[in-house]
Chain A
Amino acid sequence: MKTTDGTPPLIRVRGVRRTYQQGLVEVHALRGVDLDISQGEFSALAGPSGSGKTTLLNMIGCLDQPSAGTVHIGDDDVTHLGRAEGAEYRLRHVGFIFQAYNLIPVLTAWENAEFVLLLQGIGELERRKILDPLFERVGLSDYKKRKPHEMSGGQQQRVAIVRALASRPQIVLADEPTANLDSATSASLLDLMLELNQEHGVTFVFSTHDAMVMERARRIVRLDSGEIVADEQGAALGVA
């Protein structure tokens, strides 16, 4: 299967179901989702709470495993990666930005961003070459030595962006990254991510119900009750 622009999809989700047992009740978080996302997309998974958007994001990021169906990233079948394999896969291919608790509180901004590079075994000089421009790009060159509690929410999210991009991933998954931010900070952060998407060609996938995210997304996949109910591509959104 090809995407709308004719290139093979980077992310390929097929027939994914996720069922949880919550006490005696069986909860169907995803009910057979099919989704293709191309390299370089800036997409949003939108929907109300409980629609399954975060669950789907977790499947793509190998944080969770589907009850049925398959998930491929590029040529890799990541459907049933174990905890260790999943961690290794994310380290090399996926960057994460969460809505809160994004940073390790005892590490400085620099150390937080540097952490994934250390895990990858990258030397100090190389780490500096990667991180310095990113810190400069997100406007935090003077904040490298600050700990998370010494920074605002927006600044912390910027550090999370640096960390997510530092390992040069194929995909950045952002789970409601603006949920705890004010409008101005959210707008600035989203513009930054959009620019980085264009500069680095990294695929961004958001889980959100924030209108500001959806305004900037090139594609909005709407979910409800664990199913995709709409898939609005670029032209339909009125963006190029």
Chain B
Amino acid sequence: MLKLAWRNLWRNRTRTLIIGSAVAFSYALMLISMGINDDSHRKMEQAAERAAGGAVLIHAAGYWESQASDMVIEAPEAVMDDARTVAGVRALVPRVAINGLVSSPRGNEPIRLTGMVPALEFLVDDLSQKLVDGQFLGDTHEAPIVLSQSMVEKLKLELGDKVVLTASTPDGEVTRALFHLDGVISSGIAGEANFLAYTTLEAAQKAVEMQGKLSQIGVLVGEVSEQERVAAALRKVFEARGGLEVLTWQQAIPEMKGLIEFDDAFGYIYLIVIFIIVLLAIANTFLMAVMERVREYGLLNAIGLSPARIGKLVIWESVLLALIAMVIGFAMGFSVHLIIDHVGINAADMGAGDMEMAGVSLADMIIRSELRPLKWLIGSCCVFAVVMVSALYPAWRATRLSPAQAMRFYE
């Protein structure tokens, strides 16, 4: 039966090659798009995690929504000690966030200044990579500040120049603090994140009278998959303490989560449309093949092959075709996966140069390809199932042929 199916497959080589190519290309396309999607989604998640400041964030209750300066984490050492008891917490990144106005003799600009511990902050995002001039929070100045290149140009500053920060303290008092320009960073995107500025934790706390207080603690987790569990555990730990909120980055930046989900859904819809077209094409071609062989099926039935076995014969042909096409498709898809993974696609070159979502920049994202074996396996099973489904109707038609009529089909 298998031998007959195999030979039947090659009776009309052109037709077999056309169907096989359709399956192979669709399958390869699916693998390639899954690889690119998975890698870009992972990178978008990483970018979102960096932009949020960690996989999980700890704030004073209501801070993330209002960004109010009076919502602070009291006794942060005790909070961090409690957080360290939760399994899966890899690092804690303390921050003070200040929304204020930076002034130079040439003008004033709104900024969001983050006071940080560079060594810890670099675990989240190595901002020193974006340094274009000076140093990133060195010890030259007591109160160093790193500003964006466009901010520096607007305020016409030189390294070492003084700037004044005007901001509110947690008590609502307006305060001023002097900083020295220590470094200049560039994100490479026009207009993006120019208002972000950085200083040391101590300098920020001193500037807005937040000694012994924090605005935010970023939590890094060991595994991405652990963040929900870690967040839940932290909420439980802080339940008794009260006054704290724990957010995952997805809760903090739902727009990015939505974008990834939308992109994922779009990718699946795209694949489904391709599969439907392939399914109809294969079903049509198989049906033609069956109708061409009506007389032969009649003969097979006449010499003792049952209708069920005739149906199986058609199914076997599609199984063989699917397997051959999928082996070729896998080779094509895997080769392109390796090439993309090695070479990479610059998101900026693909028109994402100015793309920013909820403060997350996709500018310097190099998209590669990621192989998730389980997902590839499920995708492969789907392709195989599509080919099988497309052969079902022709197979059924083959089983319904009356042998007497089939034998007279061409008379």
Question: Residues of A at under 8 Å CB distance from B?
Answer: 58, 61, 63-64, 83-84, 86-88, 90-92, 95-96, 98, 101-102, 104-107, 111, 115-116, 119-120, 163, 167, 175
Contacts and interface: CB of A to CB of B under 8 A. Distances in A.
B308 interface: yes
Given A63-B403, A83-B403, A105-B11, A96 B306 contact: no
A95 B304 CA distance: 9
Contact of A101 (B4, B11, B296): B296
A90 B306 contact: no
Contact of B407 (A63, A86, A90, A167): A63
Contacts of B120: none
Contacts, number: 74
A147 to B, nearest CB: 10
Contacts of A98: 299, 302, 407
Contacts of B7: 106-107
B404 A106 contact: no
A92 B303 CA distance: 9
A90 B299 contact: no
B21 interface: no
A176 to B, nearest CB: 11
Given A58-B404, A63-B407, A98-B407, A106 B4 contact: yes
B295 A115 contact: no
Given A63-B407, A104-B4, A107-B7, A83 B307 contact: yes
B304 A167 contact: yes
Contact of A84 (B3, B4, B10, B306): B306
B247 to A, nearest CB: 64
A104 B301 contact: no
Contact of A90 (B8, B11, B303): B303
B277 interface: no
B300 A106 contact: no
B402 interface: yes
6 closest pairs, A vs B, by CB? A91-B304, A106-B7, A64-B404, A87-B306, A63-B404, A84-B306
Nearest to A92: B304
Contacts of B295: 101
Interface of B: 3-4, 7-8, 10-11, 295-296, 299-309, 399, 402-404, 407, 410
B303 A88 contact: no
A127 to B, nearest CB: 14
Contact of B4 (A91, A107, A120, A167): A107
Contacts of A84: 306-308
Given A102-B299, A111-B3, A175-B407, 11 more contacts: A83-B307, A83-B403, A84-B307, A86-B301, A87-B304, A90-B303, A90-B304, A116-B303, A119-B305, A119-B309, A163-B303
Contacts of B309: 119
A118 B399 CA distance: 20
Nearest to A61: B302
A61 to B, nearest CB: 7
Given A63-B407, A101-B296, A106-B11, A83 B302 contact: no
A36 to B, nearest CB: 23
Most buried by A among B307, B309, B407: B407
Contacts of A63: 301-302, 403-404, 407
A180 B335 CA distance: 55
Contacts of B410: 101
A94 to B, nearest CB: 8
Contacts of B3: 107, 111
A87 B301 contact: yes
Contact of A115 (B8, B303, B399, B404): B303
24 contacts: A58-B404, A63-B301, A63-B407, A64-B403, A83-B307, A83-B403, A87-B304, A87-B306, A90-B302, A92-B304, A96-B303, A98-B299, A101-B296, A104-B300, A105-B296, A106-B7, A111-B3, A115-B303, A116-B303, A116-B304, A119-B304, A119-B309, A163-B303, A175-B407
A49 B272 CA distance: 54
Question: Which of B299, B304, B308, B399 is packed against the most chain A CB atoms within 10 Å?
Answer: B304
A87 B4 contact: no
Contacts of B302: 61, 63, 90, 96, 98
Contacts of B402: 64, 83
Q: Which of A63, A96, A111, A175 has the most CB of B within 10 A?
A: A63
B311 to A, nearest CB: 11
A58 B407 CA distance: 10
Contacts of A163: 303
A238 B263 CA distance: 88
A104 B304 contact: no
A88 B404 CA distance: 16
A91 to B, nearest CB: 3
B296 A87 contact: no
Contacts of B305: 87, 91, 119
Nearest to B399: A83
Contacts of B299: 98, 101-102, 104
Contacts of A91: 303-305
A92 to B, nearest CB: 8
B10 to A, nearest CB: 8
A20 to B, nearest CB: 10
A203 B101 CA distance: 109
Nearest to A87: B306
A167 B308 CA distance: 21
A163 B404 CA distance: 19
A51 B8 CA distance: 36
